[in-house]
Structure 1
Amino acid sequence: MADPDEESRTAASTDGSDTVQNSTPALTKTAQKKLLKQERLAARKAEKKAAEKQRKAEHKEQSRREWDEKLEALSPEEKAKLIESKNEARRERIKREKEEHRMKIERLKKAAEVGQKVVLDLDFGHLMTASEIQSLSQQIMYCYAANSRSANPTHLWLTGCTGEMEARLQNVPGFNNWIIEKENRPYIEALKDHKENLIYLTADAEDVIEELDLKSIYIIGGLVDRNRYKRITMDKANEHGIKAAKLPIGKYLKMSSSQVLTVN
């Protein structure tokens, strides 16, 4: 006679596996090819990065040797003057970098008060693989860096930032010092008092935005899925009862692939 507890465990296991399988659509052949291409590109990128790191190390060592040789050929007075000149240039560079950093912080703080608000909806972690989450965290890092350099930055919100996505971002150097809003809650909860101003940017929308409105809060889906999930952001906007629109990307850019807006 079968053990009832064992049957229960088997049934629970079967139900759980079915749920996992049904939650992730199988990749089409086209999607598989795209994924393989993406993986090859990532591998080549890693190789280039390693080669560039090696090249910089060799260049640094060569510069050090040339500097030492240059000093050896000088008299004590000339050597002291050259060293002081180099130190002065270094002090000026540090001073300039500090001023640039101060101005960047001022711009970001001003954006937090009166700037355009943009939400990165990160509530899709359960639909992505570990490598896709890593890719998204890199995009967010590039996005913040580019926004920080802008003369008129937006104020960024990260919503639904939990689990592995949050862990990845915590590993980004300086992440906790970013001047952004970080929310574990989904955007629909975190911004419930501004629901009428929420606009989900999605390529599947009919309406096209030609000009940004400071009163509006624009949402970008934080999802790297190799095009597995069709209309997912459009459906989410409809589910939450908020407006959806798209940017006129095709009007200004020629793109061989889809005109889906990415985080960076």
Structure 2
Amino acid sequence: MDWKLEGSAQKRESHVLQEQEVTLEDTGEDGISESFQLLQIDVECEHREEMTLPTSNAVWRSKNVQRKQRHWEKIVAAKKSKRKQEKERRKANRVENSGIYPQHSKRFLRSLTKERLLEAKHSGPRLCIDLSMTHHMSKKELSRLAGQIRRLYGSNKKADRPFWICLTGFTTDSPLYEECLRMNDGFSSYLLDITEEDCFSLFPLETLVYLTPDSEHALEDVDLNKVYILGGLVDESIQKKVTFQKAQEHSVKTARLPIQEYMVRRQNGKNYHSEILAINQVFDILSTYFETQNWPEALKKGVSSRKGYTLQNSVE
């Protein structure tokens, strides 16, 4: 009996072992790979957690970026607001001035400007720019003079009562002419006269008035029967009385702008006071006076505060 029970127990153990072996054989490599996959998932989760946990340095950088972003957004918003306000202001000005200045096409305005300039050739005041002294000027000085000619012509185009401009002593093969073509768009189409002759042989001497700051006589009025001359000279070395001496050589009358009569010297740190103006500034004064018949108003427009002068009745 004992032997039978023992044998039966052995059979059961053997059967259990066989089932375990079968189970291991069924699972095989799949069970092992599944275990490794579970381990890999755990490792990846831990790695992600480490990456998502911000360090103190990263938090500081993030706040700094956010602060800069907010600052930039404020700047952009302010610029948009400013542009919008400027657009509305221009729109309001157009509406306000629409009844005073009718809207015209650019072609019509160009035609109107051309008509005024051509009319000035026959009935307007005449202004000569004496360009016979440019051969001693440097490239920088020529560039400055070309810019002054451009600004002078631009002011004359806008004037209600323009002058007729004549560039004398001006050759098309000169460095100044090349500089004018380079710097001034449409220079070859400017409505003005260009001649190689000098102003002293082009007009009767008794009609000429050479405007120079060294003259003893102040200009009182703009006379339609006179031809006014501006010396086209940009001299950084500031040679004195160049234009005055040239006028005397040809026995031509001279005049200066009435700066001393309507303006006073203003104290400044450099104690600098000068009546030497660029040709476009002198022209702005002449043009404004010709339209307004008001010297203080004209001088205020053309004489900048950097020259050290102010109007006599101005309040400091």
Is TM more than 0.5 here?
yes
- Are the aligned partners of 1:197 and 1:217 in contact in 2 as well (CA < 8 Å)? yes
- Shift of residue 97, structure 1, vs aligned partner: 1.4
Cα deviation code 1:88-111 (max 9, x no counterpart): xxxxxx952112111111110110
- Counterpart for residue 219 of structure 1: 229
- Counterpart for residue 183 of structure 1: 195
Letter in 1 for 2:144: S
Letter in 1 for 2:177: E
* Equivalent runs, 1:64-143 vs 2, <5 Å: 96-143=105-152
Please say if 1:245 is aligned against 2:255: yes
CA distance in 2, matches of 1:248, 1:116: 19
Cα deviation code 1:19-50 (max 9, x no counterpart): xxxxxxxxxxxxxxxxxxxxxxxxxxxxxxxx
SS at match of 1:241: coil
CA distance in 1, matches of 2:143, 2:262: 30
Cα deviation code 1:104-146 (max 9, x no counterpart): 1111011011000001111111221110010000000000001
CA distance in 2, matches of 1:210, 1:204: 16
CA distance in 2, matches of 1:241, 1:208: 18
Which protein, 1 or 2, shows the higher relative CO under an 8 Å CA cutoff with sep ≥ 6? 1
Letter in 2 for 1:229: Q
- Counterpart for residue 165 of structure 1: 176
Letter in 2 for 1:167: E
Letter in 1 for 2:255: A
SS at match of 1:152: coil
CA distance in 1, matches of 2:259, 2:234: 19
SS at match of 1:99: helix
Residue-pair matches, total: 173
Between 133-142 and 164-173, the greater mean CA deviation after superposition: 164-173
Letter in 2 for 1:164: P
Letter in 2 for 1:225: D
CA distance in 2, matches of 1:220, 1:229: 16
CA distance in 2, matches of 1:102, 1:118: 22
Cα deviation code 1:64-95 (max 9, x no counterpart): xxxxxxxxxxxxxxxxxxxxxxxxxxxxxx95
Q: Give the one of 203, 206, 212 matched to 2:216.
A: 206
CA distance in 1, matches of 2:115, 2:176: 28
CA distance in 1, matches of 2:142, 2:264: 28
* Rg larger in structure: 2
- Counterpart for residue 236 of structure 1: 246
CA distance in 2, matches of 1:259, 1:160: 25
CA distance in 1, matches of 2:263, 2:161: 22
TM norm structure 2: 0.51
- Shift of residue 223, structure 1, vs aligned partner: 0.5
Q: Which 4+ residue blocks in structure 1 deviate beyond 6 angstroms?
A: none
CA distance in 2, matches of 1:174, 1:153: 19
- Are the aligned partners of 1:220 and 1:261 in contact in 2 as well (CA < 8 Å)? no
CA distance in 2, matches of 1:251, 1:106: 36
Q: Where does the alignment leave 5 or more consecutive residues of structure 2 unmatched?
A: 1-79, 81-102, 266-271, 281-316
- Shift of residue 190, structure 1, vs aligned partner: 2.5
- Counterpart for residue 59 of structure 2: none
Letter in 1 for 2:128: V
**Overall identity of the aligned pairs, in %:** 32
Q: Where does the alignment leave 5 or more consecutive residues of structure 1 unmatched?
A: 1-62, 64-93
- Counterpart for residue 79 of structure 1: none
CA distance in 2, matches of 1:227, 1:220: 19
- Counterpart for residue 38 of structure 1: none
Q: Give the one of 123, 148, 163 matched to 1:154.
A: 163
- Counterpart for residue 308 of structure 2: none
CA distance in 2, matches of 1:243, 1:190: 16
- Are the aligned partners of 1:183 and 1:190 in contact in 2 as well (CA < 8 Å)? no
- Counterpart for residue 278 of structure 2: 262
CA distance in 2, matches of 1:227, 1:203: 16
CA RMSD, Structure 1 to Structure 2 (Å)? 2.3
Relative to structure 1, is the Cα distance of residues 181 and 221 closer, same or farther in structure 2, using a 3 angstrom cutoff? same
Relative to structure 1, is the Cα distance of residues 254 and 158 closer, same or farther in structure 2, using a 3 angstrom cutoff? farther
CA distance in 1, matches of 2:245, 2:130: 14
- Shift of residue 205, structure 1, vs aligned partner: 0.6
CA distance in 2, matches of 1:260, 1:227: 13
- Shift of residue 226, structure 1, vs aligned partner: 2.4
